[in-house]
Amino acid sequence: MRVLVTGGAGYIGSVLVRMLLERGYDVTVLDRFFFGKDSLKDIADQIKIVKGDIRWVDESILDSVDVVMDLAALSNDPSGELNPDWTMEINYQGRVRIATLSKKKGVERYILASSCSIYGFQEGILDENSGVNPLTTYAKANHLAEQNVLPLADKNFTVTALRQATVYGFSYRMRFDLAINGMTLGFFKNGKIPIMRDGTQWRPFVHVKDTSKAFIMTMEADKELVNGQIFNVGSNDQNYQIFQLAKLIAESIGIPFKYEWYGSPDHRSYRVNFDKIHKTLKFTPDYTPREGAREIYSALKDGTLDPNDMRTITVKWYKHLLHMHDFLKEIELNGRLL
């Protein structure tokens, strides 16, 4: 079976691709490679790699593809606000384009990487039937993508949206702008955990290997179980208030709990119910924040992860790329590039 993973060089994608290879799938990766190709270098000879953009890549990339896992996106809320128009073009319109072309080309299954961030700020515990409250461009784009790809489902084209909890854990394209990962880095570099005010906000969490497992389980499930469906991806026992989570991270890596506040009060807070994916797909996470923090801390200590790599903070790296683009454009306009 041939699987196309868009965004396959990214934080989740680079883990997912390896898990697909382990299960014997034929994998093609489509990516812009804004963060380079290092995340795939040890498996480059085992996969097909295409550099391209979901907004305009030629539809021939879908020839003979059985399953599309659509992870390509400008990641996280701060990055989405750098240029809201681009975020909508890629995270919403680009993914709808890929889904539409997939159906046209006879792809059997399409799985959308969505996010629990679309719940925004709400009281109570939210399931797939709850109302949504997307507060950021990133969240709004995810919701619009869901609304436009799910109606494409029919007996010949299986469509599923996976609303992922906040992801954590070691990846080959590491990110330290995610809560648990960033807390662990803060401890390593400064002996303190940075906590976004005021610490009472709720978030659900899931390990990067567990959310990757959910994609594979969705792909391998009977079509009638997943077609046209939305699944929250995570587990009920990994809903945490941020301040309490910070204490847990400190305990997990054996460091005294010290912290510092940053930012304005977080307006996003939501607890999520994950019963549906557990009952339907028998999905149960293999990892907890304890293991996630320990593996990251260990990788920082042994030098596997560079704590100062600008690429691990997505919005910072995007700003750098935008600055370099403007700089080179100015040079070219002034006739000095050539």
Q: In this structure, what CATH number is given to the domain that contains residue 232?
A: 3.40.50.720
In this prediction, residue 324 carries a pLDDT of 66
Residue 184 lies in a domain: yes
Total-model pTM = 0.94
In a domain, 39, yes or no: yes
Alpha helical stretches, state H, the chain: 13-22, 77-80, 84-87, 95-104, 137-149, 179-190, 208-220, 223-226, 242-253, 275-281, 289-301, 314-333
Q: What is the pLDDT of residues 283-301, one digit of tens each?
A: 999 999 999 999 999 999 9
Q: What is the pLDDT of residues 328-338, one digit of tens each?
A: 454 445 544 33
**Which has more confidence, 314 or 160?**
160
Strands 229-233 and 259-262: unpaired
Q: Which residue has the higher pLDDT, 335 or 250?
A: 250
Cα–Cα nearest to 70, from 183, 146, 175, 147: 146
Predicted local distance difference test score (pLDDT) of residue 239: 98
Range of the domain at 309: 2-317
Mean pLDDT of the chain: 93
Look at residue 335 and tell me if it is in a domain.
no
259, part of any domain:
yes
Q: Tens digits of per-residue pLDDT, 26-80?
A: 999 999 999 999 999 999 999 999 999 999 999 999 999 999 999 999 987 777 7
3-state secondary structure of 2: strand
Q: H or E element: which one contains 125?
A: strand 121-126
pLDDT band of residue 174 (cuts 50, 70, 90) is very high
Work out how many domains the chain is built from and give that number. Answer: 1
The predicted pLDDT at position 266 comes to 79
Q: Which residues are CB-neighbours of 137 under 8 A, at least 6 positions away?
A: 77, 80, 81, 84, 87, 88
Beta strand 26-31 with 48-51: parallel, antiparallel or unpaired? parallel
Q: Is the peptide bond before 198 cis (omega within 30 degrees of 0)?
A: yes
The reported pLDDT for the residue numbered 336 is 41
Between the alpha carbon of residue 42 and those of residues 17, 38, 61, 173, the distances in Å are 12, 8, 23, 13
pLDDT value of position 274: 98
328 compared with 117, residue with greater pLDDT = 117
CB atoms within 10 A of CB 196: 17
Identify the band that residue 260 occupies on the pLDDT scale cut at 50, 70 and 90: confident
160-164, 206-210, 218-222, 262-266: least confident range: 262-266
Instruction: Check pLDDT > 70 for residue 198.
Output: yes
Yes or no: say if 53 and 112 are a contact pair by the CB < 8 Å rule.
no
Which pLDDT score, from 0 to 100, does residue 193 have? 84
Distance, CA of 139 to CA of 77 (rounded, Å): 7
The answer to whether residue 327 sits within a structural domain is no
Judge whether residue 162 has pLDDT over 70: yes
Question: Could you give the percent of the chain with pLDDT greater than 90?
Answer: 84
Mean of the pLDDT values across residues 305-312? 95
Q: Give the CA distances from residue 319 to residues 16, 323, 330, 337, in Å, rounded to whole numbers and listed in that order.
A: 27, 6, 16, 22
325 pLDDT band (50/70/90 cuts)?
low
Percent of residues, the chain, with pLDDT higher than 70: 95
User: Could you identify the residue written with the tokens 């880095």?
Assistant: 185
pLDDT in tens, 268-283: 899 999 999 999 999 9
Residues 6+ apart with CB under 8 A from 155: none
> Do the domain assignments include residue 297?
yes
- Band (pLDDT 50/70/90 cuts) for residue 6 is very high
Q: Which of 63-67, 85-89, 164-168, 210-214 shows the lowest per-residue confidence on average (mean pLDDT)?
A: 85-89
- In this prediction, residues 115-143 reach a mean pLDDT of 96
